[in-house]
Amino acid sequence: MQTAGYGALGLALALWLAGDALWVLDADARGPFPGPADWFWLGGYPAACTGLALLLRARVRGSLGPTMWLDGAIAATAVAALIAAGSPAGGAGALAYPLGDVLLL
């Protein structure tokens, strides 16, 4: 289980590296949100969340009860609502990265 978790975190780092490299090497990647580099950066968030969840699962070994899963679902719904609230005015780009960071935290 830990190997898969570390593999997912490695994938997240590789995606962030690819986004950074694309941003530095390709001037067209610096366009409006979502640009080509943004897809790599934003793709790193699900991989990082998956890796952290797998490492947590390996560490806790089944002691997460239904209330913990419910708390996680409520937090995920709140983050999704904040992203949706910012998207009509074109603010999704401004909200995506901070909310992704908060979700990882």
Q: What is the pLDDT of residues 33-73, one digit of tens each?
A: 778 888 899 899 999 989 988 888 887 776 667 787 788 78
Please give the DSSP secondary-structure letter assigned to residue 34: S
- Is the predicted pLDDT of residue 2 greater than 90, yes or no? no
Res 48: pLDDT? 93
The predicted-structure confidence for 71-96, as pLDDT tens digits, reads as follows: 878 887 887 777 666 665 556 666 67
DSSP string, 75-105: HHHHHHHHHHHHTTTTTHHHHHHHHHHHHH-
* Rounded Cα gap, residues 88 and 70, in angstroms: 28
- Token readout for 47 is 């991989």
In terms of Cβ atoms closer than 10 Å to its own Cβ (0-12, 13-18, 19+), residue 8 is: buried
| pTM score, whole prediction | 0.70
Torsion of CA 84, 78, 66, 63, to 10 degrees: 110
